[in-house]
Amino acid sequence: AEELIMSSWLPPKHPIVVNAFEPWAKEVEKVTDGRVTVRIMGKPLGSPPAHFDMARDGIADITYGLHSFTEDDRFQRARLGQFSFLGDDAIANSKAYWKIYGGELDAAGEHEGTHLLGLFMHGPGLLHNNVRKIEKPEDMQGLKIRVPGGYVGDLVSALGATPLFMSSTEVYEKLSRGVIDGVAFTYEAMTAFNLVDYIKYSMTVPGGIYNTTWFFVINEDKWNSLSEEDRAAIDAISGEAFAERVGQAWNDADIAAKKKIGDKVDFYQASPAVVSALRGVASKLEQSWSDSLGDGYDGAAALAEFRGMTGVEVK
């Protein structure tokens, strides 16, 4: 059998490792009648930001990671899935992302050197903090918020807060010591990083304040070395089917986290005033992203189509 090596940097017990990548790996063996197997390494073969290049360069065969970790302009069109108000259901988000970014926005062109196995997003991103409930836009002033980079950073800073960058494993240290006041994270990350005791208020808006986009790729040469039959079999359980699988894993993780947190944190919907302030900033950022894509790509239309698919209305 041909053994594919997959490098995984999330903790081995992370919900999407256990409920999406591992089952997918088993399924690969099944649908190829054992001709292709996937071995997930117990320890990553490089840092999380290196994981795209690791698949491209063949250090590992298969990797996954966040587009925003890569510190250059390679994944410009990938930002489609990182804006506000995109959708509350990780399955619908991931399917729309796979269809639109993978389709008319030519994701394959931005992932040169690899073959796409999946493109996905998680559930809605929230804004957590331990200082005050954000009732009006001015309440954002002066808060120090950890952001994953990119769009959320611009958003938070346009609203008057200070965005700070650090690795997600640093968040616990910094939040518990008051170095930061809050963090842009999902429900799931609150429990995964033990933050519940250090967060008081979590604000959400319909469709999420932000989202992160992920790639799941295999080295192109390795991919082409597989038989046509095996490639077809693997493709059939990847792409949209994987979007469904991983979306389900994110949704389940969010539900489990919400249950575990209970009423220890005050979850609240943003007030109309805050939502409209967010919209004002968001639409400017969306427009400048759309303008930056150049000829042949219509970012604004892609966003509209995305929201059509996930059922989010933006007035």
Partner 1 sequence: MPDDPAPDMIPGRTPHRQALWYRLLAGVAALLIVMLIGVTCIDVIGRYAFNRPFGGAYELTQILLAALVFVALPLTSADGGHVEVDLALHLLPSRVQRLLGRLAGIISAMVLGYFTWRLVVIGLDQLHESTRSASLGLPMAPLAFLAAASCAVSAVSMILRREES
Partner 2 sequence: MTISLVAFVILLVMVFARVPIAFAMVVVGGVGFALLRGWGPAGAMVGNAVFETGLNYSLSVVPLFIFMGNVLAGSGIARGLFSAADRVFGRMRGGLAMATVLSCGGFSAVCGSSLATAATMAKVTMPSMRRFGYSDSLATGAIAAGGTLGILIPPSVVLIIFGLLTEADIGKLFLAGIIPGILGIIGYLLAVMVAVRLKPELAPRVRDVHPMTRRDAVSVTAVLALFVFIMGGIYGGFFTPIEAAGMGAAAALLIALATGGLSRGALWTAFLDSATASAMIFAIIIGAEIFSNFVTFAGLPDSLSDLVENLGLSPWVVLMVIVAIYMVLGCFLESLSMILLTVPVFYPLVSNLDFGLASLESPDAVLIWFAIIVVVVTEISLITPPIGMNVFVLRSVLPDVSLGTIFRGVYIFWMADIVRLALIIALPVLSLYLVT
- Number of residues counted as binding partner 2 (CB under 8 A): 26
Reading the block at residue 59, the tokens are 């250090």
Stretch that binds partner 2, among 39-47, 127-135, 205-213, 275-283 (CB under 8 A): 39-47
Question: Quick check: 74 binds partner 1 (CB under 8 A)?
Answer: yes
Question: Quick check: 152 binds partner 1 (CB under 8 A)?
Answer: no
Question: Quick check: 163 binds partner 1 (CB under 8 A)?
Answer: yes
The residue type of 290 is S
Question: CA neighbours within 13 Å on the CB side: how many for 85?
Answer: 22
144 interacts with, out of partner 2, partner 1, none, CB within 5 to 8 A per kind: partner 1
Q: Which of 45, 196, 300, 314 binds partner 2 (CB under 8 A)?
A: 45
Stretch that binds partner 1, among 86-94, 148-156, 199-207, 297-305 (CB under 8 A): 148-156
Q: How far apart are alpha carbons 193 and 198 in whole angstroms?
A: 11
54 to 6, 23, 139, 141: CA distances (angstroms): 10, 22, 42, 40
**Element (H or E) spanning 4, and its range?**
strand 2-6
* Contact predicate 63/209, CB 8 Å: no
Question: Quick check: 241 binds partner 2 (CB under 8 A)?
Answer: no
* In the complex, least distance from residue 49 CB atom to partner 2, rounded to whole angstroms: 8
Q: Which of 13, 42, 43, 71 binds partner 1 (CB under 8 A)?
A: 71
Q: Which is nearer to partner 1, 176 or 271 (CB)?
A: 176
Q: Which of 1, 34, 108, 169 binds partner 2 (CB under 8 A)?
A: 169
Question: CA neighbours within 13 Å on the CB side: how many for 38?
Answer: 23
Q: Which of 142, 280, 308, 311 binds partner 1 (CB under 8 A)?
A: 142
Handedness of CA 196, 197, 198, 200 (dihedral sign): positive
Q: Which of 31, 59, 275, 293 binds partner 2 (CB under 8 A)?
A: 59
> How many CB atoms lie under 10 A from the CB of residue 271?
17
Question: Quick check: 173 binds partner 2 (CB under 8 A)?
Answer: yes
Query: Residue 223, class by beta-carbon neighbours within 10 Å (0-12 exposed, 13-18 middle, 19+ buried)?
Result: buried
247 to 166, 253, 277, 300: CA distances (angstroms): 26, 10, 29, 24
Question: Quick check: 183 binds partner 2 (CB under 8 A)?
Answer: no
274 interacts with, out of partner 2, partner 1, none, CB within 5 to 8 A per kind: none
Q: Which is nearer to partner 1, 174 or 231 (CB)?
A: 174
Q: Are strands 126-129 and 182-185 parallel, antiparallel or unpaired?
A: antiparallel
Question: Quick check: 11 binds partner 2 (CB under 8 A)?
Answer: yes
Question: Cα 146 to chain center, whole Å?
Answer: 16
Reading the block at residue 163, the tokens are 């965005």
Q: Which is nearer to partner 1, 72 or 313 (CB)?
A: 72
Question: Quick check: 73 binds partner 1 (CB under 8 A)?
Answer: yes
For 3, the 3-state DSSP assignment is strand
Q: What size, in residues, is the chain?
A: 315
Q: Binding residues for partner 2, per CB under 8 A?
A: 5, 11-12, 41-43, 45-47, 50, 53-54, 57-59, 166-167, 169-170, 172-174, 176-179
Q: Binding residues for partner 1, per CB under 8 A?
A: 71-74, 142, 144, 149-150, 153, 162-166, 170, 179
